[in-house]
Structure 1
Amino acid sequence: MTQGTFIQAVLIPDLPPPPQIRVTEAATRFNVYRNNVVVSLTEALQAAFPAIAQLVGPEFFAAMGGEFVRAHPPQTPVMAFYGAAFPNWLRGFAPVAALPYLPEVAAIEQARREAYHAADAPPLTGEQLARLAPDALVTLCVQPHPAARALRTVQPALAVWAQCIGVPDLARETPPEVLITRPAMAVQVHPAPAGTASTLFALANGVPLGEALGDVNPAHILTCLLGAGALANPKVFPCPT
Protein backbone atom coordinates (compact mmCIF):
# COMPACT_ATOMS: atom_id res chain seq x y z
CA MET A 1 0.00 0.00 0.00
CA THR A 2 1.46 3.34 -1.04
CA GLN A 3 1.15 6.55 0.95
CA GLY A 4 -0.98 8.03 -1.83
CA THR A 5 -3.39 5.09 -1.72
CA PHE A 6 -3.72 5.43 2.04
CA ILE A 7 -4.37 9.19 1.86
CA GLN A 8 -7.02 8.64 -0.82
CA ALA A 9 -8.74 6.07 1.34
CA VAL A 10 -8.69 8.43 4.32
CA LEU A 11 -10.11 11.42 2.46
CA ILE A 12 -12.68 9.79 0.16
CA PRO A 13 -15.48 8.37 2.32
CA ASP A 14 -16.98 6.27 -0.50
CA LEU A 15 -13.79 4.24 -0.86
CA PRO A 16 -13.53 1.05 1.17
CA PRO A 17 -10.62 0.65 3.60
CA PRO A 18 -7.40 -0.53 1.94
CA PRO A 19 -7.24 -4.33 1.44
CA GLN A 20 -4.56 -4.66 4.10
CA ILE A 21 -6.98 -3.50 6.83
CA ARG A 22 -10.30 -4.96 5.78
CA VAL A 23 -10.50 -7.25 8.79
CA THR A 24 -13.66 -6.12 10.58
CA GLU A 25 -12.02 -4.71 13.72
CA ALA A 26 -9.23 -2.97 11.79
CA ALA A 27 -11.70 -1.57 9.26
CA THR A 28 -13.80 -0.13 12.08
CA ARG A 29 -10.77 1.57 13.59
CA PHE A 30 -9.79 2.88 10.15
CA ASN A 31 -13.22 4.47 9.69
CA VAL A 32 -12.88 6.18 13.08
CA TYR A 33 -9.44 7.45 12.06
CA ARG A 34 -10.80 8.63 8.71
CA ASN A 35 -13.51 10.64 10.44
CA ASN A 36 -11.07 12.09 12.98
CA VAL A 37 -8.71 13.30 10.24
CA VAL A 38 -11.45 15.18 8.39
CA VAL A 39 -12.91 16.61 11.59
CA SER A 40 -9.54 17.81 12.89
CA LEU A 41 -8.63 19.46 9.57
CA THR A 42 -12.06 21.09 9.39
CA GLU A 43 -11.59 22.43 12.92
CA ALA A 44 -8.20 23.85 11.93
CA LEU A 45 -9.86 25.52 8.95
CA GLN A 46 -12.59 26.96 11.15
CA ALA A 47 -10.00 28.36 13.56
CA ALA A 48 -8.25 30.02 10.61
CA PHE A 49 -11.45 31.53 9.19
CA PRO A 50 -13.63 32.45 12.18
CA ALA A 51 -15.61 35.13 10.33
CA ILE A 52 -16.59 32.66 7.61
CA ALA A 53 -17.67 30.16 10.26
CA GLN A 54 -19.79 32.83 11.92
CA LEU A 55 -21.39 33.88 8.64
CA VAL A 56 -22.45 30.40 7.52
CA GLY A 57 -22.96 28.74 10.91
CA PRO A 58 -21.10 25.80 12.48
CA GLU A 59 -23.07 22.98 10.85
CA PHE A 60 -22.76 24.39 7.34
CA PHE A 61 -19.09 25.17 7.89
CA ALA A 62 -18.43 21.60 9.03
CA ALA A 63 -19.99 20.23 5.85
CA MET A 64 -18.29 22.83 3.65
CA GLY A 65 -14.97 22.32 5.41
CA GLY A 66 -15.16 18.59 4.77
CA GLU A 67 -15.59 19.26 1.06
CA PHE A 68 -12.56 21.56 1.06
CA VAL A 69 -10.41 19.14 3.08
CA ARG A 70 -11.08 16.34 0.61
CA ALA A 71 -10.30 18.58 -2.35
CA HIS A 72 -7.24 20.20 -0.74
CA PRO A 73 -5.50 17.89 1.74
CA PRO A 74 -2.53 19.39 3.62
CA GLN A 75 0.77 19.55 1.74
CA THR A 76 2.79 20.23 4.89
CA PRO A 77 2.45 19.24 8.56
CA VAL A 78 2.46 22.93 9.56
CA MET A 79 -1.22 23.66 10.20
CA ALA A 80 -0.54 27.40 10.56
CA PHE A 81 -0.50 27.60 6.76
CA TYR A 82 -3.32 25.18 5.97
CA GLY A 83 -6.25 26.66 4.07
CA ALA A 84 -4.43 29.15 1.83
CA ALA A 85 -6.52 27.93 -1.12
CA PHE A 86 -9.81 28.33 0.76
CA PRO A 87 -10.72 31.88 -0.42
CA ASN A 88 -10.37 30.99 -4.11
CA TRP A 89 -12.09 27.64 -3.56
CA LEU A 90 -15.11 29.45 -2.15
CA ARG A 91 -15.53 31.30 -5.46
CA GLY A 92 -16.43 28.04 -7.14
CA PHE A 93 -18.43 26.48 -4.30
CA ALA A 94 -22.00 26.67 -5.58
CA PRO A 95 -23.82 26.46 -2.21
CA VAL A 96 -22.40 29.88 -1.20
CA ALA A 97 -23.00 31.62 -4.53
CA ALA A 98 -25.69 33.76 -2.87
CA LEU A 99 -23.02 35.20 -0.54
CA PRO A 100 -20.65 36.85 -3.04
CA TYR A 101 -18.71 38.65 -0.31
CA LEU A 102 -17.66 35.38 1.32
CA PRO A 103 -14.46 34.76 -0.76
CA GLU A 104 -13.25 38.31 -0.11
CA VAL A 105 -13.89 38.02 3.63
CA ALA A 106 -11.92 34.76 3.57
CA ALA A 107 -9.13 36.53 1.66
CA ILE A 108 -8.90 39.14 4.43
CA GLU A 109 -8.62 36.39 7.03
CA GLN A 110 -5.97 34.56 5.01
CA ALA A 111 -3.98 37.77 4.53
CA ARG A 112 -4.09 38.35 8.29
CA ARG A 113 -2.69 34.85 8.87
CA GLU A 114 0.11 35.45 6.38
CA ALA A 115 0.93 38.80 7.95
CA TYR A 116 1.04 37.24 11.42
CA HIS A 117 3.58 34.60 10.37
CA ALA A 118 5.68 36.80 8.05
CA ALA A 119 9.27 37.82 8.72
CA ASP A 120 9.92 41.07 10.52
CA ALA A 121 11.71 44.17 9.22
CA PRO A 122 11.92 47.80 10.34
CA PRO A 123 9.42 49.92 8.38
CA LEU A 124 10.26 52.91 6.24
CA THR A 125 8.97 56.09 7.88
CA GLY A 126 7.80 59.41 6.56
CA GLU A 127 10.62 61.12 8.43
CA GLN A 128 13.17 59.04 6.53
CA LEU A 129 11.58 59.89 3.20
CA ALA A 130 11.47 63.58 4.09
CA ARG A 131 15.28 63.63 4.22
CA LEU A 132 15.53 62.62 0.56
CA ALA A 133 15.76 65.04 -2.34
CA PRO A 134 12.76 64.88 -4.73
CA ASP A 135 14.80 63.14 -7.44
CA ALA A 136 16.05 60.53 -4.98
CA LEU A 137 12.52 59.97 -3.69
CA VAL A 138 11.15 59.26 -7.15
CA THR A 139 13.91 56.79 -8.01
CA LEU A 140 14.01 55.11 -4.59
CA CYS A 141 13.86 51.32 -4.69
CA VAL A 142 11.89 50.11 -1.69
CA GLN A 143 10.33 46.73 -0.95
CA PRO A 144 6.97 46.05 0.67
CA HIS A 145 7.27 45.06 4.31
CA PRO A 146 7.30 41.24 4.51
CA ALA A 147 4.03 41.34 6.48
CA ALA A 148 2.21 43.72 4.12
CA ARG A 149 -0.70 42.41 2.09
CA ALA A 150 -3.16 44.37 -0.07
CA LEU A 151 -6.44 43.11 -1.51
CA ARG A 152 -8.81 44.58 -4.07
CA THR A 153 -12.45 44.27 -3.03
CA VAL A 154 -15.67 44.67 -5.00
CA GLN A 155 -17.92 43.52 -2.16
CA PRO A 156 -18.31 45.15 1.30
CA ALA A 157 -15.90 42.53 2.62
CA LEU A 158 -14.10 44.75 5.12
CA ALA A 159 -17.35 45.87 6.74
CA VAL A 160 -18.66 42.30 6.89
CA TRP A 161 -15.41 41.00 8.39
CA ALA A 162 -15.28 43.83 10.93
CA GLN A 163 -18.88 43.23 11.98
CA CYS A 164 -18.17 39.54 12.55
CA ILE A 165 -14.94 40.08 14.47
CA GLY A 166 -16.21 43.05 16.46
CA VAL A 167 -14.22 45.98 15.07
CA PRO A 168 -16.83 48.77 15.02
CA ASP A 169 -14.47 51.39 13.59
CA LEU A 170 -14.26 49.38 10.36
CA ALA A 171 -17.82 48.04 10.24
CA ARG A 172 -19.01 50.91 8.02
CA GLU A 173 -15.97 50.98 5.73
CA THR A 174 -16.38 49.96 2.08
CA PRO A 175 -13.01 50.86 0.54
CA PRO A 176 -11.89 49.68 -2.90
CA GLU A 177 -8.90 47.92 -1.31
CA VAL A 178 -7.80 46.57 2.05
CA LEU A 179 -4.27 46.79 3.48
CA ILE A 180 -3.02 44.35 6.13
CA THR A 181 0.17 45.09 8.05
CA ARG A 182 1.85 44.09 11.31
CA PRO A 183 3.42 47.12 13.02
CA ALA A 184 4.85 46.42 16.48
CA MET A 185 4.12 42.70 15.90
CA ALA A 186 0.33 43.24 15.96
CA VAL A 187 -1.67 42.53 12.80
CA GLN A 188 -3.78 45.48 11.67
CA VAL A 189 -6.36 45.89 8.91
CA HIS A 190 -6.76 49.23 7.13
CA PRO A 191 -9.05 50.61 4.44
CA ALA A 192 -6.90 51.57 1.46
CA PRO A 193 -7.29 53.65 -1.69
CA ALA A 194 -7.46 52.17 -5.17
CA GLY A 195 -3.98 51.48 -6.48
CA THR A 196 -2.51 50.27 -3.20
CA ALA A 197 -2.27 46.62 -4.27
CA SER A 198 -0.79 47.46 -7.66
CA THR A 199 1.76 49.77 -6.01
CA LEU A 200 2.93 47.04 -3.64
CA PHE A 201 3.09 44.55 -6.51
CA ALA A 202 5.21 46.94 -8.58
CA LEU A 203 7.55 47.67 -5.68
CA ALA A 204 7.98 43.96 -5.03
CA ASN A 205 9.13 43.62 -8.63
CA GLY A 206 11.78 46.33 -8.33
CA VAL A 207 9.87 49.26 -9.86
CA PRO A 208 11.09 52.60 -8.40
CA LEU A 209 8.77 54.31 -5.94
CA GLY A 210 7.76 57.20 -8.20
CA GLU A 211 6.78 54.90 -11.06
CA ALA A 212 5.10 52.35 -8.78
CA LEU A 213 2.81 54.99 -7.26
CA GLY A 214 1.48 55.93 -10.69
CA ASP A 215 -0.57 59.00 -11.52
CA VAL A 216 -3.83 58.27 -9.68
CA ASN A 217 -3.70 59.82 -6.22
CA PRO A 218 -0.09 58.83 -5.45
CA ALA A 219 0.08 61.02 -2.33
CA HIS A 220 -2.92 59.24 -0.78
CA ILE A 221 -1.45 55.82 -1.52
CA LEU A 222 1.98 56.74 -0.14
CA THR A 223 0.44 58.23 3.01
CA CYS A 224 -1.56 55.05 3.52
CA LEU A 225 1.47 52.79 3.03
CA LEU A 226 3.73 54.81 5.32
CA GLY A 227 1.10 55.22 8.01
CA ALA A 228 0.46 51.49 8.09
CA GLY A 229 4.14 50.53 8.09
CA ALA A 230 3.71 48.70 4.79
CA LEU A 231 7.12 49.58 3.33
CA ALA A 232 10.41 48.12 4.52
CA ASN A 233 13.44 50.23 5.38
CA PRO A 234 15.68 49.79 2.30
CA LYS A 235 18.84 50.01 4.40
CA VAL A 236 17.85 46.85 6.27
CA PHE A 237 15.63 45.16 3.69
CA PRO A 238 17.15 46.17 0.32
CA CYS A 239 15.71 45.54 -3.11
CA PRO A 240 17.07 42.43 -4.83
CA THR A 241 19.85 43.12 -7.31
Structure 2
Amino acid sequence: MNRHEQFAQALLTPGLPCPDGLFSRNGADPASRFAVYRNNVHGSLINALADSYPVTQQLVGEHFFRAMAGLYIQAYPPISPLLHDYGSDLADFIKGFAPAADVPYVADVARLERLRISAYHAIDTPVANPHAVVNQLQQLSSLGNVRLQLHPCVATLRSDYAVVALWAAHQTTDPVARLDPWHGQSALVLRNGLEVEVFCIDSGCVTFINSLNNDWPLEMAMAYALDAASEFDLHQCLGLLINHRAITQIKVHP
Protein backbone atom coordinates (compact mmCIF):
# COMPACT_ATOMS: atom_id res chain seq x y z
CA MET A 1 0.00 0.00 0.00
CA ASN A 2 1.53 3.32 -1.07
CA ARG A 3 1.48 6.52 0.97
CA HIS A 4 -1.52 7.93 -0.88
CA GLU A 5 -3.57 4.80 -0.19
CA GLN A 6 -2.55 4.81 3.47
CA PHE A 7 -3.63 8.43 3.81
CA ALA A 8 -6.99 7.77 2.12
CA GLN A 9 -7.68 4.71 4.27
CA ALA A 10 -6.86 6.57 7.48
CA LEU A 11 -8.95 9.53 6.36
CA LEU A 12 -12.11 7.41 5.93
CA THR A 13 -11.61 5.05 8.89
CA PRO A 14 -12.01 6.82 12.25
CA GLY A 15 -10.24 4.10 14.23
CA LEU A 16 -6.96 4.28 12.33
CA PRO A 17 -4.09 6.45 13.64
CA CYS A 18 -2.72 9.46 11.85
CA PRO A 19 -0.54 8.37 8.90
CA ASP A 20 3.20 8.60 9.27
CA GLY A 21 5.08 11.42 7.60
CA LEU A 22 2.60 14.23 8.24
CA PHE A 23 3.78 17.51 9.67
CA SER A 24 2.27 20.90 10.45
CA ARG A 25 3.82 24.12 9.16
CA ASN A 26 3.03 26.01 12.38
CA GLY A 27 4.30 23.25 14.64
CA ALA A 28 0.87 22.00 15.77
CA ASP A 29 0.38 18.32 16.51
CA PRO A 30 -0.19 16.57 13.12
CA ALA A 31 -2.46 13.97 14.68
CA SER A 32 -4.89 16.57 16.06
CA ARG A 33 -4.89 18.51 12.76
CA PHE A 34 -5.52 15.29 10.84
CA ALA A 35 -8.38 14.38 13.19
CA VAL A 36 -10.07 17.73 12.44
CA TYR A 37 -9.60 17.21 8.72
CA ARG A 38 -11.01 13.67 8.94
CA ASN A 39 -14.07 14.88 10.85
CA ASN A 40 -14.69 17.56 8.21
CA VAL A 41 -14.45 15.02 5.39
CA HIS A 42 -16.82 12.60 7.14
CA GLY A 43 -19.25 15.39 7.92
CA SER A 44 -19.25 16.62 4.32
CA LEU A 45 -19.89 13.14 2.91
CA ILE A 46 -22.67 12.44 5.40
CA ASN A 47 -24.27 15.80 4.61
CA ALA A 48 -24.06 15.01 0.89
CA LEU A 49 -25.87 11.72 1.45
CA ALA A 50 -28.51 13.44 3.58
CA ASP A 51 -29.08 15.99 0.79
CA SER A 52 -29.43 13.21 -1.80
CA TYR A 53 -31.71 11.02 0.35
CA PRO A 54 -33.94 13.37 2.37
CA VAL A 55 -36.96 11.05 2.53
CA THR A 56 -34.78 8.08 3.43
CA GLN A 57 -33.40 10.10 6.32
CA GLN A 58 -36.88 11.13 7.46
CA LEU A 59 -38.06 7.51 7.45
CA VAL A 60 -35.29 6.26 9.74
CA GLY A 61 -34.54 9.46 11.65
CA GLU A 62 -31.54 11.77 11.42
CA HIS A 63 -29.50 10.07 14.16
CA PHE A 64 -29.95 6.59 12.64
CA PHE A 65 -29.27 7.86 9.11
CA ARG A 66 -26.04 9.65 10.01
CA ALA A 67 -24.73 6.62 11.92
CA MET A 68 -25.59 4.36 8.98
CA ALA A 69 -24.04 6.82 6.53
CA GLY A 70 -20.81 6.82 8.56
CA LEU A 71 -20.55 3.06 8.17
CA TYR A 72 -21.39 3.32 4.49
CA ILE A 73 -18.55 5.81 3.96
CA GLN A 74 -16.06 3.36 5.43
CA ALA A 75 -17.33 0.52 3.20
CA TYR A 76 -17.77 2.59 0.03
CA PRO A 77 -15.36 5.53 -0.18
CA PRO A 78 -15.94 8.11 -2.92
CA ILE A 79 -14.46 7.40 -6.35
CA SER A 80 -15.65 10.59 -8.04
CA PRO A 81 -15.08 14.26 -7.17
CA LEU A 82 -18.77 14.95 -7.90
CA LEU A 83 -20.71 14.76 -4.64
CA HIS A 84 -24.05 14.20 -6.40
CA ASP A 85 -22.59 10.93 -7.76
CA TYR A 86 -21.74 9.68 -4.30
CA GLY A 87 -24.10 7.15 -2.74
CA SER A 88 -25.31 5.47 -5.93
CA ASP A 89 -25.24 2.09 -4.18
CA LEU A 90 -26.58 3.26 -0.83
CA ALA A 91 -29.86 1.39 -1.42
CA ASP A 92 -27.99 -1.92 -1.71
CA PHE A 93 -26.10 -1.10 1.47
CA ILE A 94 -29.35 -0.36 3.31
CA LYS A 95 -30.91 -3.61 2.10
CA GLY A 96 -28.07 -5.57 3.72
CA PHE A 97 -27.87 -3.35 6.81
CA ALA A 98 -29.20 -5.47 9.67
CA PRO A 99 -30.41 -2.59 11.93
CA ALA A 100 -32.71 -1.46 9.07
CA ALA A 101 -34.34 -4.88 8.66
CA ASP A 102 -37.52 -3.73 10.45
CA VAL A 103 -38.16 -1.11 7.74
CA PRO A 104 -37.39 -3.04 4.52
CA TYR A 105 -39.14 -0.48 2.34
CA VAL A 106 -36.46 2.13 3.09
CA ALA A 107 -34.05 0.57 0.57
CA ASP A 108 -36.54 0.96 -2.28
CA VAL A 109 -37.33 4.53 -1.27
CA ALA A 110 -33.59 5.18 -1.50
CA ARG A 111 -33.62 3.63 -4.99
CA LEU A 112 -36.40 6.01 -5.98
CA GLU A 113 -34.49 9.00 -4.66
CA ARG A 114 -31.39 7.90 -6.58
CA LEU A 115 -33.45 7.64 -9.80
CA ARG A 116 -34.60 11.22 -9.23
CA ILE A 117 -30.98 12.37 -8.95
CA SER A 118 -30.04 10.46 -12.12
CA ALA A 119 -33.01 11.95 -13.96
CA TYR A 120 -32.08 15.48 -12.92
CA HIS A 121 -28.49 15.07 -14.14
CA ALA A 122 -29.33 13.09 -17.29
CA ILE A 123 -28.04 14.42 -20.60
CA ASP A 124 -30.18 17.25 -21.97
CA THR A 125 -31.49 15.59 -25.15
CA PRO A 126 -34.07 17.54 -27.21
CA VAL A 127 -37.58 16.09 -26.94
CA ALA A 128 -40.18 15.70 -29.67
CA ASN A 129 -43.14 18.08 -29.81
CA PRO A 130 -46.12 16.31 -28.17
CA HIS A 131 -48.55 17.32 -30.92
CA ALA A 132 -46.14 16.11 -33.60
CA VAL A 133 -45.77 12.78 -31.82
CA VAL A 134 -49.55 12.31 -31.66
CA ASN A 135 -49.98 13.23 -35.33
CA GLN A 136 -47.22 10.88 -36.45
CA LEU A 137 -48.56 7.98 -34.40
CA GLN A 138 -52.05 8.48 -35.79
CA GLN A 139 -50.75 8.25 -39.35
CA LEU A 140 -48.94 4.94 -38.84
CA SER A 141 -50.43 1.94 -40.59
CA SER A 142 -48.47 -0.60 -38.54
CA LEU A 143 -46.68 -0.66 -35.21
CA GLY A 144 -44.36 -3.57 -36.01
CA ASN A 145 -41.61 -1.41 -37.52
CA VAL A 146 -41.95 1.58 -35.17
CA ARG A 147 -39.66 2.35 -32.25
CA LEU A 148 -40.08 5.13 -29.72
CA GLN A 149 -36.87 6.61 -28.36
CA LEU A 150 -37.26 7.79 -24.78
CA HIS A 151 -35.32 10.56 -23.07
CA PRO A 152 -32.25 9.31 -21.12
CA CYS A 153 -33.86 10.53 -17.89
CA VAL A 154 -36.74 8.01 -18.10
CA ALA A 155 -36.50 5.14 -15.61
CA THR A 156 -38.83 2.77 -13.79
CA LEU A 157 -38.79 1.02 -10.44
CA ARG A 158 -40.73 -2.04 -9.31
CA SER A 159 -41.20 -2.45 -5.58
CA ASP A 160 -43.01 -4.70 -3.14
CA TYR A 161 -43.68 -1.58 -1.08
CA ALA A 162 -45.62 1.68 -1.50
CA VAL A 163 -42.53 3.63 -2.55
CA VAL A 164 -44.39 6.34 -4.48
CA ALA A 165 -46.87 6.97 -1.66
CA LEU A 166 -44.08 6.99 0.94
CA TRP A 167 -42.04 9.46 -1.09
CA ALA A 168 -45.06 11.67 -1.90
CA ALA A 169 -46.15 11.78 1.74
CA HIS A 170 -42.91 13.58 2.59
CA GLN A 171 -43.27 16.25 -0.10
CA THR A 172 -45.87 18.25 1.81
CA THR A 173 -46.33 19.60 5.29
CA ASP A 174 -50.04 18.82 5.19
CA PRO A 175 -51.19 15.88 7.31
CA VAL A 176 -51.80 12.75 5.26
CA ALA A 177 -53.98 9.77 5.88
CA ARG A 178 -52.20 6.69 7.21
CA LEU A 179 -50.79 4.73 4.28
CA ASP A 180 -49.96 1.06 3.97
CA PRO A 181 -46.23 0.72 3.13
CA TRP A 182 -46.67 -2.99 2.41
CA HIS A 183 -48.77 -2.37 -0.70
CA GLY A 184 -46.54 -2.84 -3.74
CA GLN A 185 -46.15 0.00 -6.24
CA SER A 186 -44.17 0.72 -9.38
CA ALA A 187 -42.73 4.12 -10.23
CA LEU A 188 -41.93 6.11 -13.33
CA VAL A 189 -39.30 8.83 -12.95
CA LEU A 190 -38.61 11.44 -15.62
CA ARG A 191 -37.50 15.03 -16.04
CA ASN A 192 -39.97 17.40 -17.65
CA GLY A 193 -38.02 20.54 -18.43
CA LEU A 194 -36.10 21.18 -15.20
CA GLU A 195 -38.65 19.43 -12.98
CA VAL A 196 -38.16 15.79 -11.98
CA GLU A 197 -41.54 14.05 -11.75
CA VAL A 198 -42.57 10.78 -10.13
CA PHE A 199 -45.65 8.78 -11.13
CA CYS A 200 -47.23 5.60 -9.85
CA ILE A 201 -47.73 3.19 -12.78
CA ASP A 202 -48.87 -0.42 -13.17
CA SER A 203 -46.70 -3.40 -14.05
CA GLY A 204 -47.84 -3.35 -17.68
CA CYS A 205 -46.66 0.23 -18.08
CA VAL A 206 -43.33 -0.65 -16.47
CA THR A 207 -42.85 -3.51 -18.94
CA PHE A 208 -43.86 -1.30 -21.86
CA ILE A 209 -41.43 1.49 -20.92
CA ASN A 210 -38.58 -0.94 -20.24
CA SER A 211 -39.21 -2.58 -23.62
CA LEU A 212 -39.00 0.80 -25.34
CA ASN A 213 -35.75 1.53 -23.53
CA ASN A 214 -34.47 -1.82 -24.83
CA ASP A 215 -35.28 -0.62 -28.38
CA TRP A 216 -38.09 -3.13 -28.95
CA PRO A 217 -40.67 -2.27 -31.67
CA LEU A 218 -43.83 -0.63 -30.40
CA GLU A 219 -45.99 -3.64 -31.27
CA MET A 220 -43.72 -6.04 -29.39
CA ALA A 221 -43.49 -3.71 -26.39
CA MET A 222 -47.28 -3.60 -26.26
CA ALA A 223 -47.49 -7.41 -26.42
CA TYR A 224 -45.03 -7.79 -23.54
CA ALA A 225 -46.98 -5.22 -21.51
CA LEU A 226 -50.24 -7.12 -22.01
CA ASP A 227 -48.51 -10.34 -20.92
CA ALA A 228 -47.39 -8.58 -17.75
CA ALA A 229 -50.81 -7.02 -17.03
CA SER A 230 -53.94 -7.83 -19.00
CA GLU A 231 -55.43 -4.46 -17.98
CA PHE A 232 -52.56 -2.54 -19.58
CA ASP A 233 -53.85 0.63 -21.24
CA LEU A 234 -51.64 1.63 -24.19
CA HIS A 235 -53.31 5.01 -24.69
CA GLN A 236 -52.95 5.96 -21.03
CA CYS A 237 -49.28 4.95 -20.88
CA LEU A 238 -48.42 6.65 -24.17
CA GLY A 239 -50.34 9.74 -23.08
CA LEU A 240 -48.27 9.92 -19.91
CA LEU A 241 -45.02 9.74 -21.87
CA ILE A 242 -46.15 12.21 -24.54
CA ASN A 243 -47.69 14.80 -22.23
CA HIS A 244 -44.64 14.85 -19.98
CA ARG A 245 -42.21 15.16 -22.88
CA ALA A 246 -40.47 11.82 -22.40
CA ILE A 247 -40.24 10.91 -26.12
CA THR A 248 -37.33 12.23 -28.17
CA GLN A 249 -37.89 10.51 -31.50
CA ILE A 250 -40.12 8.13 -33.46
CA LYS A 251 -38.08 5.80 -35.64
CA VAL A 252 -39.86 4.00 -38.49
CA HIS A 253 -37.78 1.22 -40.04
CA PRO A 254 -38.51 -0.20 -43.50
User: Deviations for 1:57-89, whole angstroms, at most 9, x for unmatched residues?
Assistant: 211111111111111111110112211111121
Q: Structure 1 residues 218 and 212, CA, compared in 2 at 3 Å: closer, same or farther?
A: farther
Does 1:225 find its partner at 2:241?
yes
* Runs of 4+ residues deviating >4 angstroms: 170-175
Does 1:176 find its partner at 2:185?
yes
What residue number does 2:19 align with? Answer: 18
For residues 119 and 190 of structure 1, the distance between their equivalents in structure 2, rounded to whole angstroms, comes to 21
User: Deviations for 1:27-67, whole angstroms, at most 9, x for unmatched residues?
Assistant: 11111111111111000000001101111121111111111
What residue number does 2:138 align with? Answer: 131
Task: Indicate the SS of the match to 2:77.
Answer: coil
Give the one of 192, 205, 220 matched to 1:196.
205
Does 1:38 find its partner at 2:42?
yes
Paired residue type of 1:6: F
Q: Structure 1 residues 114 and 167, CA, compared in 2 at 3 Å: closer, same or farther?
A: farther
Does 1:122 find its partner at 2:123?
no
Q: Structure 1 residues 223 and 9, CA, compared in 2 at 3 Å: closer, same or farther?
A: same
| Structure 1 stretches lacking a partner, 5+ long | none
1:138 deviation in Å?
3.4
State which structure, 1 or 2, has the greater radius of gyration over its C-alpha atoms: 2
Does 1:153 find its partner at 2:159?
yes
| Structure 2 stretches lacking a partner, 5+ long | none
Task: Indicate the SS of the match to 2:147.
Answer: coil
Q: TM-score, normalised by structure 2?
A: 0.82
Greater shift after overlay, 206-215 or 221-230? 221-230
For residues 187 and 167 of structure 1, the distance between their equivalents in structure 2, rounded to whole angstroms, comes to 19
Q: Aligned-pair RMSD on alpha carbons?
A: 2.7
Greater helix fraction, Structure 1 or Structure 2: 1
What residue number does 1:69 align with? Answer: 73
For residues 54 and 184 of structure 2, the distance between their equivalents in structure 1, rounded to whole angstroms, comes to 22
For residues 104 and 80 of structure 1, the distance between their equivalents in structure 2, rounded to whole angstroms, comes to 19
Q: TM-score, normalised by structure 1?
A: 0.86
Q: Figure out how many residues of one structure are paired with residues of the other and give that number.
A: 235
For residues 196 and 124 of structure 1, the distance between their equivalents in structure 2, rounded to whole angstroms, comes to 22
Identity of aligned residues (%): 33
1:218 deviation in Å?
5.1
Task: Indicate the SS of the match to 1:233.
Answer: strand
Note if contact 1:193-1:221 (Cα within 8 Å) is conserved in structure 2: no
1:229 deviation in Å?
3.0
Task: Indicate the SS of the match to 1:141.
Answer: strand
Q: Structure 1 residues 176 and 128, CA, compared in 2 at 3 Å: closer, same or farther?
A: farther
What residue number does 2:147 align with? Answer: 141
